Amino acid sequence: MLVGYARTSTTEQAAGLDAQRRDLKASGCEELFEEQVSSVQRREELEKALKFVRKGDTLVVTKLDRLARSVPDLVKIMERLEGRGASLRILAMNLDTNTPTGRLLLNLVGSVAQFEREVMLERQREGIAKAKEEGKYKGRAMTARAKSDDVLRLYKAGKGASEIAVKLGIGRASVYRILKDQQHRYENTVT
């Protein structure tokens, strides 16, 4: 049986999911698992697909990046498939791990994909460092710290940390951090 798996990173990518669904059905997939979740999050539909496949089945994806986030992730997925007696087919590469050549090519392609991602991340870090040097990159604004005055006002009014967090839309840990910082400032000015 051919079992399809389709994934997009966000819900805004409906057209991408539709295209994957179309291609998987056209390739003969009888069962289809799909989700709209980032590859770094828990992929529940992928888990279901990996538990669903049986001996002789083939898991089909349109592209490698729809399945695995890294070479180690790909290796784990392949081990699970092989442990169930199933194989993997990647439509965009016309690659099928039912053959020794297909398994070799999958390992090579996976390594190249991981290399490309690492190079991209390195360039991104270099770009951020350069932008910081030029004063153009400030990073993400600290949202909770910007509400310090409100946290202190509500705390002095007798509100608890959980209530303050909900009211201001910040985490309870952030409330405690702000209160702790305020206490340190007070202690340093008294001594």
Judged by DSSP in three states, 53 sits in coil
Residue 119, C-beta contacts closer than 8 angstroms, at least 6 positions apart: none
Output the CA torsion 36→37→42→47 (10° steps).
30
Q: How far apart (Å, rounded) are the C-alpha atoms in residues 77 and 7?
A: 15
* Residue 174 a catalytic site member: no
Buried b (16+ CB within 10 A) or exposed e, 110-133: beebbeeeeeeeeeeeeeeeeeee
Q: How far apart (Å, rounded) are the C-alpha atoms in residues 19 and 21?
A: 5
Catalytic residue annotation? 9
